[in-house]
Amino acid sequence: MTPKQVLQLVKTKKIEFIDCRFMDFPGLWQHTTYPVSELKEESFTHGFGFDGSSIRGWQAINESDMLIVPVADTAKVDPFYERPTLSLICDIKDPITQKSYSRDPRSIARKATKYLKETKLADKAYFGPEMEYFVFDQVRYDQGVNHAVYEVDSAEGVWNRGRNWPGNLGNQVRQREGYFPCPPMDTGHNLRSEMSAIMQELGLSVECHHHEVATGGQAEIDLEYQDLVPMADACMLYKYIVKNVAARYGKVATFMPKPLFQDNGSGMHTHFSLWKGTKNLFAGRRYGGFSQMGLYAIGGILRHAPALLAFTNPTTNSYKRLVPGYEAPVNLTYSSRNRSAAIRIPQYSQKPETRRLEFRTPDCSSNPYLAFSAMLMAAIDGIQNKIDPGDPLDKDLYDLEPAEREAIPHAPSELSEALDALEADHDFLLQGKVFTDDVIHYWIKYKREEEVQALRQRPHPYEFCMYFDI
451 marked as part of a ligand binding site: no
Catalytic residue among 19, 91, 104, 130: 130
Q: How far is residue 246's CA from residue 81's CA, in Å, rounded to a whole number?
A: 15
Catalytic residue among 91, 104, 186, 358: 358
132 marked as part of a ligand binding site: yes
264 marked as part of a ligand binding site: yes
> Phi-psi region for residue 306, left (φ > 0), alpha (ψ -120 to 50) or beta?
alpha
468 marked as part of a ligand binding site: no
Catalytic residue among 360, 381, 426, 451: 360
130 flagged as catalytic: yes
How many helices and strands (H and E) does the chain possess?
A: 14, 18
Q: In sequence order, what are the residues at sequence separation of 6 or more whose Cβ sits closer than 8 angstroms to the Cβ of residue 213?
A: 176, 177, 178, 179, 263, 264, 327
271 marked as part of a ligand binding site: yes
339 marked as part of a ligand binding site: yes
244 marked as part of a ligand binding site: no
426 flagged as catalytic: no
222 flagged as catalytic: no
56 marked as part of a ligand binding site: no
327 marked as part of a ligand binding site: yes
Beta-strand relationship, 206-211 and 218-223:
antiparallel
Q: Calculate the CA 231 to chain-centre distance.
A: 10
Cβ 358 vs Cβ 95: under 8 Å: no
Strand partners, 149: 142
Beta-strand relationship, 85-93 and 17-23:
parallel
303 marked as part of a ligand binding site: no
Catalytic residue among 51, 63, 449, 450: 51
HSE-CB of 186 using CA atoms within 13 angstroms: 20
360 marked as part of a ligand binding site: yes
269 marked as part of a ligand binding site: yes
HSE-CB of 351 using CA atoms within 13 angstroms: 5
Q: How far is residue 274's CA from residue 127's CA, in Å, rounded to a whole number?
A: 9
52 marked as part of a ligand binding site: no
156 flagged as catalytic: no
344 flagged as catalytic: no
Catalytic residue among 56, 337, 339, 456: 339
Q: How far is residue 130's CA from residue 116's CA, in Å, rounded to a whole number?
A: 23
Phi, psi angles (nearest 5°) of residue 329? -85, 70
Q: Is 287 helix (H, G, I), strand (E, B) or coil?
A: helix
51 flagged as catalytic: yes
212 marked as part of a ligand binding site: yes
Catalytic residue among 103, 106, 110, 269: 269
Catalytic residue among 19, 220, 222, 451: 220
Q: How far is residue 5's CA from residue 86's CA, in Å, rounded to a whole number?
A: 13
Check whether the bond before 181 is cis (ω within 30° of 0).
Answer: no
212 flagged as catalytic: yes
Catalytic residue among 212, 233, 263, 451: 212
Active site residues: 51, 130, 132, 212, 220, 269, 339, 358, 360
Q: List binding-site positions for Mg(2+).
A: 130, 132, 212, 220, 269, 358
Q: List binding-site positions for L-glutamate.
A: 264-265, 321, 327, 339, 360
Q: List binding-site positions for ATP.
A: 207, 271-273, 339
Q: List binding-site positions.
A: 130, 132, 207, 212, 220, 264-265, 269, 271-273, 321, 327, 339, 358, 360
